[in-house]
Structures are given as C-alpha cells and as structure tokens.
Amino acid sequence: MNIRSVTHIDNVRLSDSGDAVVIIDQSLLPNETVYLNLKEPEELYDAIHELRVRGAPAIGIFAAYAVYVLARRHAALDYDSFYVNFAQDRDYLDSSRPTAVNLHAMLTRMDGVVRAGREKPVPEILECLRDEAIAIHREDMDMCRAISEYGLELVKDGFGVLTHCNAGPLATSRYGTGLGTLFLGAERGMTFHAYCDETRPLLQGARLTTYELQKAGIDCTLICDNMASFVMREGRIDACFVGCDRVAANGDTANKIGTSGVAILAKHYGIPFYVFCPSSTIDFGCKTGADIKIELRAPEEIKEKFFIQPTALPEVKCLNPAFDVTDAELITAIVTEKGICRAPYTESLAALFGGGEA
Ligand code: MRU
C-alpha cells in the first residue's frame, strides 16, 4: 500500500444496488481483511455495537446509509405508516452505542429529510434519503481534509506525535481527523515519528492506527498505554493528537478511554495536546462533559478478548468504560474544519459554529 491507498480505503459505502451497506470488518483487522454486506436490522445494529464499524464519523455515515437501506423495505407504505417504521429503525440503530454524538446526529438529520418530504410520494423520499446519506459521507471527506490542513499549522518536520485509539481513515472518510495531518504532511514530503498507544481493551491503536501508518510508510512505534509517560519523559513526543466522540459546548471532550490520562501526562511534561474534531462531533446540547453519557461494555473485553487464557478469575468484577472525558483546560487546541479553536472554548467553538448549528 501507499499513502493514497490508505487514505482512500473503502471502509463504509452503499452497495451498488443500494440494498446493503458494505464495510470493512474493523474487528478483524489487521489479520484479516473481510468486507461485509449488511442488510438486516440486527446485523446493521451489531456492526456498530460490536465495533465492526467504529470511530465517531464512520458510525454516523454508516447509520445514515443503514437507515436508508432499512427504509427501502417500507417503500410500498403510505407516508404515515412509512414514518412509523422509519422511526422504529432510526431508534433501534440509535440505541446501538451511546457516546459518539455522530450516530444520533446523523440519524436525526435523516429523520429531518423524511419529515420535510411528507407531501412527497414515498419512493421520492427514499431518493432524498439516499442523497442525504451520500452528502453526509462527502461532507465528512471534506471536513477531514480541511482539519488535516489546519493540523499542518501545528507541526514541524520530524515531529514525534503520540496517538491514542484510532482517528484515521478507518474511523472516518479519507484522511481521518487525528491522523489526517500525518497523512497529508507525509504526502507533502514531511516525516513524522508516531508513537501509538495500543489502547486497551479493544486495541484500536495497535490493530488499526499502526496498520494505517505502517501501510502508508509513516514511521510508527507501538507502545502499551502505560508507556506514554516513558516516551514523553524521554523527549520523543512533541505533540499528542487524538480524535473525539463528543465535544461539549465548553470544550470538554469524550474520547476513547485513556485519553484523559494522556492529556494529564502531556500537561505534566509541557507537551501540547490537540483534539481533532469535525463539527459533526460537537454537541452544543451538552454544556459540559458531565452531560455526556459514557458507554459501559462487557467485562470479557478486559479479561478474555485477545488473550489465549483469561487474565483473571471469572468471578473478578470488571469496570469497562469505553470512553472518558478530558477537561477542556487540558486541551491546547481543538482543530476543526473551520479553523483552530483555543480556550475559552465556549466562545471559540460558538464563534465558528454558531453555538448550535454545528
Ligand atoms: O470505540 P471506538 O473505537 O468507536 O472509539 C473511537 C474513538 O474513540 C476515536 O478516537 C473517535 O471516535 C474519533 S474517530 C475520528
């Protein structure tokens, strides 16, 4: 592979016939590259819940296509019955994961298309739904590219960058958010040294971020999450780059569990900590991070998954929060498609996005 084949990876798309969503099964990477054709409500729901498709923007794009695919089944109904079925599918998909706002936001956007079309014949509404899902996908490509351009203002050639989780092409479209600057910079001849947190317990950093960077020929080194302090102390890290799942109006940011610890370490060592955020991930309805619901997942992900033998007695209790909130005060800047926001974020985010129209 080269940079372009990574940044143009086909992670989520509508099938040619429009009756399925096609994804790379991210839960099998990097060992197997398997594409799935998903049509049934349960398999679409499970794809999100089981992280076959993951990353806040990718989940939003997937949900938009998924609700369209499901809506096609109700094409023969009158508007009112169509809407009842559509709303059921929308709510079912929306319940698959709680933290990344993109899922709810994109389903709400699709809902708006149906309601705006109430005077149209249902087949025409379906066309509008397909067009909206494609528009959501294209907008994400543009946002990722713009975010990556702004990110280049924050780096110099030879920078060491610490990453957490995966905010690359697999999690988004095209360049990604948190990794986009590295891909775009590399395309323009810059070199970077990425240190990738493995990201326990589901290992998105190990399995996906190093996969993307390695295939693109960008220097990357895998570390366990508890080694971040070591590489920072050794002076290997010039900046931390992370994505986000929901950014509150005051800049508090929910991202993959462990992100807040990285931010605290970065502050200790005086290293800038940057969040890369498409406007689709800002939730002005959340005033602060305290309003963000954190997903709790199964204990087996900690004790059993990825291990040959269980790592603890079956009766040992586990707490498995999938995300944590990084306080705005720990964030050096939030890089969006419209520019770079700095504290106070309540003002800077509202100035760029109108405090509610993001
Ligand atoms: O549980 P995941 O893998 O969906 O969590 C993903 C993350 O936390 C990413 O950092 C975030 O969605 C940003 S993706 C651009």
Predicted confidence (pLDDT) per residue in 206-227, tens digit: 999 999 999 999 999 999 999 9
> Given the CA of residue 56, which atom of ligand 1 is nearest to it?
12
How confident is the prediction for the chain on average, in pLDDT? 97
pLDDT band at 358 (very low <50, low <70, confident <90, very high): very low
pLDDT at 106: 98
Peptide bond into 41 cis (omega under 30): no
Q: Are strands 219-223 and 239-242 parallel, antiparallel or unpaired?
A: unpaired
> Given the CA of residue 242, which atom of ligand 1 is nearest to it?
10
Tell me: pLDDT of 187 over 70.
yes
* Residue of 310, 314, 244 lying closest to 279 (CA atoms): 244
DSSP code for 289: G
pLDDT band at 18 (very low <50, low <70, confident <90, very high): very high
Instruction: Answer yes or no: pTM beyond 0.75.
Output: yes
User: Going by C-beta distance under 8 Å and a sequence separation of 6 or more, which residues neighbour residue 222?
Assistant: 196, 198, 205, 206, 210
pLDDT at 356: 59
Q: Which residue of the set 140, 245, 252, 324 is catalytic?
A: 245
What is the percent of the chain with per-residue pLDDT over 90, rounded to a whole number? 98
> Given the CA of residue 59, which atom of ligand 1 is nearest to it?
4
Distance 173 CA to ligand 1 centre (A): 13
Q: Give SS3 for 134.
A: helix
Distance 242 CA to ligand 1 centre (A): 9
In the chain, what are the domains? 3-141 (1.20.120.420), 145-353 (3.40.50.10470)
Q: Which helix (H) or strand (E) holds 326?
A: strand 323-326
Orientation angle between helical segments 101-116 and 79-94, nearest 10 degrees: 180
User: Going by C-beta distance under 8 Å and a sequence separation of 6 or more, which residues neighbour residue 79?
Assistant: 118, 122, 125
Averaged over 287-296, what is the pLDDT? Answer: 98
Distance 15 CA to ligand 1 centre (A): 24
- Is residue 142 part of the annotated active site? The answer reads no
Distance 82 CA to ligand 1 centre (A): 33
More confident site: 355 or 65:
65
pLDDT of 74-110, one tens digit each?
A: 999 999 999 999 999 999 999 999 999 999 999 999 9
Q: Please tell me the distance from the alpha carbon of residue 327 to that of residue 290, in angstroms, as a whole number.
A: 10
What residues does ligand 1 touch, defined as CB less than 6 Å away? 51, 54-57, 100, 165, 167, 171-172, 177, 204, 243-245, 255-256, 322
pLDDT band at 30 (very low <50, low <70, confident <90, very high): very high
Tell me: pLDDT of 357 over 60.
no
Look-up of token digits 């989940």:
59
Q: Give SS3 for 196.
A: strand
pLDDT of 224-275, one tens digit each?
A: 999 999 999 999 999 999 999 999 999 999 999 999 999 999 999 999 999 9
More confident site: 1 or 136:
136
pLDDT at 1: 63
